[in-house]
Structure 1
Amino acid sequence: MDIPDIHIRSVGSALPGPPIDNSALARRFGMDTLWEQWVDAFIGTRTRHLAIDLESGELAVSLAELATEAGSRALAAAGLAPGEIDVLVMGTATPDQLMPATVNLVADRLGINDVPTYQLQSGCCGAVQALDVARRMLQSAGHTNALVLGGDVCAQFFDLGADLMSLRPEELVNAVLFGDGAGAAVLTTEPAPGRPAIRRVLNRLTGLGQQPGQVLRWYGPAQGKPPEGAGVAEDYKAIEERVPVMAAEILAELLESLDWKPDDIGYLLPPQLSGRMTGKIVKGLDLPGAREITCVADTANTGNALPFLQLERLVGALEPGERAIGIAVESSKWIKSGFALEGV
């Protein structure tokens, strides 16, 4: 049986509320202008969109709502009705609750039923993992269209009453590093002009024996009182050291597997940890001929939404014959992921 090429038919995204700049965060947390300057200089993130109301601390929009909006936009852009979707896959590190799975809440809101659904619990690589699962399902199960979702609402782990001056660096960075959002893509076996073909997807755990670079804590009553501190912790120094190296390894493996040369790459979708880190990674990848597609300085790190925000900017620009590489690195247990696209 011939294995069909899988194409990206459309992409959609959703961000909650207006952008919140560093000055607004500084005012909310009672920080001075030096803190704002520190964010600009060392993080490089200008704005972010948050699913919580900064004044009340209440969750204003859920991940299911954001993913439904993104999925609806992707369906509309693809010209498809919900009943034409054959499989639904979602990647997230921050589902709305443990059960029911957020992917099934989204399916219900979109009017999708009687199809296989999958929810992958993963950090920044979850979106790529979801693309991989959907691609394999389309290639092997006789399906035609898959809706792939990715998103995170990290703000639900914010402690708006925290004294930021007392936080450890691995906790302080989370107050400015993350934003919220969701994205969606329709994958199809039906080729057409303007629908990039997915040439390769890489997804590999590489963290054997390594300490986690990121921890997201979730507690139930039987576990007792959670320890003091933020629900999210980053070993930012380890991330800063390892992610650029892993990104270069991902690029090299994708190029070698396809027999592509660095000069063949027209677009680069680099990892989107922060504005400063992205610049460092892109410089190290050394693809001077590739146009960089990045948005993290304006959206902050939206986790599993970010690859879709990048793809949304790419799909309409990729011309026939042009090639693009996307890279995502997950520090929670050190996962390499990436994908290669070609315009057709």
Structure 2
Amino acid sequence: MTAAKAYIAAVGTALPGAPVDNQHLADRFGIDADWIELFIGTKTRHFAVDLETKEQQHTLADLAAQAGAKALAASGLEPEDIGFVVLGTATPDALMPATVNLVADKLGLDQLPTYQLQSGCAGAVQALDLGYALVSSGLHRNGLVLGGDVCAKHLPLDQDFASMPASELVNFVLFGDGAGAAVLTSEPVGARLALHRVLNRLTGLGREPGQTVEWFGANDRDSGKQPIREDYKAIEGAVPVMTGEVVWELLDELGWSDTDLDYLLPPQLSGRMTERIVASLDLPGVTEVSCVADTGNTSNALPFMQLARLLERAEPGQKAIGVAVESSKWIKAGYALEKV
């Protein structure tokens, strides 16, 4: 195998506020805590919005800057060493200015290119893909890649939850808020996690979206449209299959066998769904690296939270594959790593 052209030197993450457990959600929304546990399998999550006052207490820029600062500090690099910043998110703080530029400002970064990618659960890997291209091409020696979402601000908290359709109600227990960051380098420094390959592919031609998040303007905010919709049955059927396709394509392209693989960072829709995905892959001897049961589905923050856990346990020579699947218009994404 040829030497890697990009490395992850450090990872940082940020979660807002204290964890919110299922009983708290059940009391607040008048739903069954046992239903949350059985159907979703997520135990806690963090929200950037206070569930009682409905006040937003953390912005995406706040959380991404916290994660970015942690990653920079852990990498040993200075702000002036960073050649670019890229952010993947489905929920930017505003249409303009781009949230990535607010994050750069908070981190003291200036006079460098910035990029913001609008995407759901695959956005973090798309950001990693762009960062990999910028570093591996020799255009930049180091860069900061970010991913995160603040989903709670899209959820109306003054609804009649007893009459809410399941396709909308699920979003109040499925998602959490957070951000993550990774410092990419052209040389193996810091955590020395070689990034061998990033896969990023739209596969949604002719397919109905599995998830829709509305972005209301001044003229349609009272339209009565459901702000977030999930076709959970379609997602349940498609995501395990797409995950397997990503894993085997990456293994084949790199010349790795399934016995070479030490860790799997699977898609993190929910605790229960992750269990199904991992079981469907049937990779004996491979250790699952997951966090969704504790953090909730933080969308574009999740891959970085998994990476942070991977760095705590990976030994030199061990290999990992991470997968993210976006159901909004069906994007499969993944990346292959090796501790060097």
- What is the TM-score with the length of structure 2 in the denominator? 0.97
Query: Residues 209 and 73 (structure 1 numbering): CA distance in 2 closer, same or farther, change over 3 Å?
Result: same
Q: Does the alignment pair 1:70 with 2:73?
A: no
**How many Å separate the matches in 2 of 1:118 and 1:194?**
24
Q: What residue number does 1:339 align with? A: 335
Partner of 2:203: 206
* Secondary structure at 1:309 match in 2: helix
For 2:330 and 2:258, how far apart are their aligned partners in 1?
25
Q: Name 1:38's counterpart in structure 2.
A: 35
Give a deviation string over 1:107-147, Cα, whole Å, max 9, x none.
00100001110000000000000001011011224311110
Shift of 1:319: 1.5
- 1:244-255 correspondence runs (5 A): 244-255=240-251
Q: Percent identity at matched positions?
A: 60
Query: What do the CA deviations read for 1:179-232 (whole angstroms, capped 9, x no partner)?
Result: 00000000001114741101110000000000000001002224x344325411
1:80 equivalenced with 2:68 (yes/no):
no
Counterpart secondary structure, 2:262: strand
Q: d(CA) in 2 for partners of 1:201 and 1:235?
A: 27
Of residues 139-148 and 326-335 in structure 1, the stretch that sits farther from structure 2 once superposed is 139-148
Show structure 1 runs of 4+ deviating over 4 A: none
Contact 2:262 2:318 in 1 (8 A): yes
Give the AA of the match of 1:73.
K
CA distance in 2, matches of 1:175, 1:109: 30
Cα distance change on mapping 1:47 and 1:254 into 2, 3 Å: same
Extract unaligned runs of 5+ from structure 2: none
Match of 1:239 among 224, 232, 235: 235
Structure-2 residue corresponding to 1:218: 215
SS at match of 1:221: coil
Q: Trace 1:6-17 onto structure 2 (pairs within 5 A).
A: 6-17=6-17
Partner residue, 2:165: 168
From the superposition, tell whether residues 6 and 60 of structure 1 become closer, same or farther in structure 2 (CA, over 3 Å).
same
Q: Distance in 2 between matches of 1:169 and 1:50?
A: 21
Q: Distance in 2 between matches of 1:197 and 1:235?
A: 36
> Whole-Å Cα distance in 2 between the matches of residues 238 and 209 of structure 1?
14
SS of structure 2 residue aligned to 1:316: helix
The structure 2 residue matched to 1:311, chosen from 283, 295, 307, is 307
**Which secondary structure does the structure 2 equivalent of 1:185 belong to?**
strand
Q: Match of 1:101? A: 98
- The offset of 1:55, in angstroms, is 1.0
TM-score normalised over the length of structure 1: 0.96
Instruction: Tell me the equivalent position of 1:111.
Output: 108
**Letter of the structure 2 residue corresponding to residue 83 of structure 1:** E
Change (3 A) 1:140 1:163: same
Matched, 1:289 2:285: yes
Does the 8 A contact of 1:171 with 1:232 survive in 2? yes
CA distance in 1, matches of 2:191, 2:30: 49
User: Amino acid of the residue matched to residue 289 of structure 1?
Assistant: G
Superposition map of 1:172-191 within 5 A: 172-191=169-188
Pick one of 117, 130, 135 that aligns with 1:133.
130
Measured against aligned partners, the alpha-carbon deviations of 1:277-324 in whole angstroms (never above 9, x if no partner) come to 000000011111111100101111000000000000112322121100
Structure 1 CA distance for aligned equivalents of residues 196 and 4 of structure 2: 11
Q: Secondary structure at the match of 1:336?
A: strand
Structure 1 residue 3, shift from structure 2 partner: 8.9
Following superposition, the deviation at residue 4 of structure 1 comes to 6.1
CA contact (8 A) 1:194 1:319 kept: no
Count matched residues. 339
Instruction: Give the drift of 1:168.
Output: 1.1
1:12-23 alignment, distance < 5 Å: 12-23=12-23
Q: Distance in 2 between matches of 1:124 and 1:115?
A: 26
RMSD: 1.4
The AA in structure 2 aligned to 1:48 is R
